[in-house]
A and B are shown apart, each in its own frame.
Chain A
Amino acid sequence: MPARPAPGSLLGIEPLDIQDINGMLDAAYRMQKRRPRPLFKEKRVALLFYESSTRTRVSFEYAAKILGATTTLVSATASSIEKGESLIDTGYTLTALGAQAIIIRHPSSGAPHLLSRYVDVPVINAGDGLHEHPSQALLDAYTILRHKKSLKGLRVALIGDIFHSRVARSDVHLLSKAGALVTLCGPDALVPEVATTLAKGVAVTRDLKEAITGADVVIALRIQKERLAGLQLSLDDYISRYQLTAERVRWAKKDAIVMHPGPIIRGLELTADVADAERTVIVEQVKNGVAVRMAILARALGVKH
């Protein structure tokens, strides 16, 4: 069996314990409060992106640069990957060039795990296939904690395409470990019953009202039109049953917040009114992403702060 991932790797939320998670959330809080220092001076961080990304890529890049690291972006279409270089060989190349951490986004579930067995630097998963998106779950938890005292006992509803969502899997693992009660809601094809086996305290419902009523947090997930077509699900039907509208959001607790990992499609998973409402914290999520990713990088690079 190939080697273990280097210390500081972040492959997913599932293998983490709650202390490790809280450690990163606390570190992110401290880093957001303080003026940035060149903690990562002379560190080299590679961003290896096999898929497109705006938020995740830019915020990892800023997080690294604000703290003084040098970053390099390698994307699948503008590198030797296009010529057929394998993931493992690409990893060897990046470490030979001096990368001290590799942030990877990849369409194949488990690609970061593969890479982590062949390189001796920390690997950070920036989204792998349908599997996990751990930095997103951490920034979601971080954002919730800016509005709620604790995650424990919190009622969280995740609405929409759970099956194809790596954000959903990471959110569910994190929220469950923290003691939140998670309800997944959507049509059968997007929210299969097997989803309840993902973690403790996870329920599935087809009824949006049931999912939202009494919720402290409502998280909408992006709907990919092409995937609905493949599943023979009508967009119109989805909107009529599951779209977050101002009226439906009122089923939640008065102080509930509405979240979305982005990119949002206004008029599909939520209305423009909901997207722009005061209780909606989508932009705040994006902003918090930088601090959370600073904490992830500090852990990866073994930097005290």
Chain B
Amino acid sequence: MSKSLLIRGGRVVDPASGMDAVADVLLRDGKVAAVGKITDKADETFNAKGMVVAPGFIDLHVHLREPGQSYKESIATGTQAAAAGGFTSVCAMPNTAPVNDSAETTRWMQSPERGAVVNVFPIAAATIGSQGEKLTDFKALRAAGAIAVSDDGKPVLDDRIMEDALRSAARVGIPVIQHAEDTRLTGGASMNAGPVSFRLGLRGMPVEAEAGVVGRDIELARATKAHIHVAHISTADALERVKRARAAGVHVSCEVTPHHFMLIDENIGQYDTRFKMNPPLRSAADRDAMIAGLLDGSIDCIATDHAPHARHEKEVEFDKAAFGITGLETALGIALTELHHKRKLPLKRIVELLSTNPAKIVNLEGRGTLAVGSYADVTIFDPAKKWKFDAEKSKSKARNTPFDGWPFTGRVTATIVGGEIVYRG
């Protein structure tokens, strides 16, 4: 096991320290030891010529399915997929079985016995069992390692409970992450409401179901001075509300998934369940608003909402199929292809979206940067490498992706966690 690793000659892009230049990076004892022209010898050298060397990517939204649903994914396989996608840290949602609403489960998920190859930061449930009734013990969860609370998938609709959650979270210094969906408007729905759902005869989720909850949460965050983070934003209307609130000084942040800035509801075609997720793929206008939000900086970060499912849960009637797609291994390819190559978003911004900003949102001290002294979590990628995603070769247990066989430009070369290379492309 190497104690030191020298990454030589790459283009170091570290927005947090304002760096974008060819340099060497020396990792030693799990920390960044030096950045610049380095003449020291190291136990191991990695030639990064022509590559981008970035602070390790952080995914604020993954479902690792453990405890309880390891037929879909395990913490070991999910984090292997993360490493293959360039993610050095993942934040795991609590909708497991049982729901992660306790310090015990939070610790269990982080135990070395789980075999994680990247850092796992649990997001604990905001209410017991995610039932939306009684708050969990935020302080104890925080102490056990939870970096945020959320009832992802089961949005907190009760105003009073949500207000209490925000107040408690603010006291502990963590954000509340909300899956914004007014489920009173989405009963029985399996896709976006609009011309496509009408044509396919599927019940639709209206845009208002997201925007309404985002609007409500913003008002509560304003009143409580807490931090609300909007998970997987998908509609122009909700994003508009986030922008206005931020301008007015409310502590609000938001993430978007690669599929919501890449795909639209029409991609469902003839009931292809690989395009079924929640929030659903929206209209072209909403998709374009997501791209605009990434380009103008109003969207803070990219998160995958990696949601692995077994084949038998997807190969069924569209309205019965499970919501969700995998995303860890395709996120960088999509971001570089769609945003950097096609729309000229600078690499610095790509790194902000995948590393710098998510680290800030959940207060991961010493991550999301390559500043000397920070954790030796590094993602090395080749922004020009052309490749095709092959779902059969995925490190995830699941194959539920709409991107099988899709061509991308830009691929992970190596993923380094705590100074150790955990993935080589």
- With most chain B CB atoms within 10 A of its CB, the pick from A88, A113, A132 is A113
Q: Which of B194, B270, B320 contacts A108 (CB 8 A)?
A: B320
A163: nearest residue on chain B (CB-CB)? B198
B315 interfacial by beta-carbon distance below 8 Å: yes
Of B194, B272, B317, B319, which is in contact with the most chain A CB atoms at under 10 Å from its CB? B317
Smallest beta-carbon distance B266→chain A, Å: 12
| In the complex, A197 has a CB within 8 A of chain B | yes
Query: A192 and B317: CB pair below 8 A?
Result: no
Nearest chain B CB to A36 CB, angstrom units: 34
Q: How far is the CB of A83 from chain B (nearest CB, A)?
A: 15
**CB of B201 within 8 Å of the partner chain:** yes
Q: Given A1-B272, A86-B312, A88-B315, do A109 and B202 touch, yes or no (CB 8 Å)?
A: yes
Total of A-B residue pairs, C-beta within 8 Å: 63
Contact with B along A118-158 (1 / 0, CB 8 A): 00000000001111100000000000000000000000000
Instruction: Give residues 319-352 of B contacting A (CB, 8 Å).
Output: 319-320
Nearest Cβ in chain B — how far from A56, in angstroms? Answer: 17
CB of A113 to closest CB in B, whole Å:
5
CA of A197 to CA of B283, assembled, Å: 14
A145 to B318, CA, bound (A): 36
Asked whether B201 lies within 8 Å of A114 as measured between CB atoms, the reply is no
As a 0/1 sequence over residues 144 to 179 of chain B, the CB contacts with chain A under 8 angstroms (1 = contact) are 000000000000000000000000000000000000
**Which residue on B lies nearest to A162, using beta carbons?**
B198
Q: Is A198's CB within 8 Å of the partner chain B?
A: yes
Is A8 positioned at the interface, with any CB of B under 8 Å from its CB? Answer: no
Judge whether A68 is part of the interface by a CB distance below 8 angstroms. no
A11: chain B residues within 8 A (beta carbon): 270
Check if B271 is an interface residue, CB within 8 A of chain A. Answer: yes
Contacts of B297 in A (CB 8 A): none
Q: Contact between B316 and A129 (Cβ–Cβ < 8 Å)?
A: no
The answer to whether B50 has its CB under 8 Å from any CB of chain A is no
Q: Are B198 and A128 in contact (CB under 8 A)?
A: no
Most buried by B among A11, A111, A114, A163: A114
Q: Tell whether, in the assembled complex, residue B194 and residue A166 are in contact, meaning their CB atoms are under 8 Å apart.
A: no
On whether A197 and B199 interact (CB within 8 A), knowing A109-B319, A113-B270, A129-B319, the answer reads yes
A169 touches B201 (CB 8 A): yes
Q: Taking the complex as formed, is B200 at the interface, i.e. its CB lies under 8 A from any CB of chain A?
A: yes
Interface size on A, residues (CB 8 A): 26
Chain A: CB-nearest residue to B187:
A230
- Interface set, chain A 58-115, CB cutoff 8 A to B: 86-88, 106, 108-111, 113-114
Complex contacts, B195 vs chain A, CB 8 Å: 194, 197-198
User: Would you list which residues of chain B between 278 and 317 have a CB under 8 Å from chain A?
Assistant: 312, 315-317
Given that A110-B271, A113-B270 are known contacts, is A197 also in contact with B198, CB under 8 Å in the complex?
yes
| Residue among B201, B272, B316 making CB contact with A131, cutoff 8 Å | B201
Within 8 A of A (CB), among B191-210: 194-195, 198-203
Q: Which residues of A contact B272 (CB under 8 A)?
A: 1
In the complex, are the beta carbons of B319 and A108 less than 8 A apart?
yes
Which residue among B198, B200, B201 has the maximum number of chain A CB atoms within 10 Å of its CB?
Answer: B201
Give Cα distance in the complex from A233 to B100, angstroms: 43
Which B residues are in CB contact (< 8 Å) with A131?
Answer: 200-202
| A108-B198 contact, Cβ under 8 Å, with A86-B312, A113-B270, A114-B271 | no
Smallest CB–CB gap between B196 and chain A, Å?
Answer: 9
CB–CB A109/B200 < 8 A: yes
Residue in chain B with minimal CB distance to A110? B271
Let me know if A195 is at the binding interface, CB within 8 A. yes
Chain B residue with minimal CB distance to A1?
Answer: B272
A110 contact set on B, CB distance < 8 A: 200-202, 270-271, 317-319
Report whether A130 and B202 are in contact in the complex, using a CB–CB cutoff of 8 Å.
yes
Give B residues with C-beta under 8 Å from A. Answer: 194-195, 198-203, 270-272, 312, 315-320
26 contacts between A and B (CB under 8 A): A1-B272, A11-B270, A86-B315, A87-B317, A88-B315, A106-B317, A108-B317, A108-B319, A108-B320, A109-B200, A109-B201, A109-B319, A110-B200, A110-B201, A110-B202, A110-B317, A110-B318, A114-B271, A130-B203, A132-B201, A163-B198, A169-B201, A197-B195, A197-B199, A198-B198, A198-B199
Instruction: Supply 12 further A-B pairs (C-beta < 8 A) apart from A88-B316, A113-B271, A114-B316.
Output: A86-B312, A87-B316, A108-B318, A109-B202, A110-B200, A110-B270, A110-B271, A110-B317, A110-B319, A114-B271, A128-B201, A129-B202
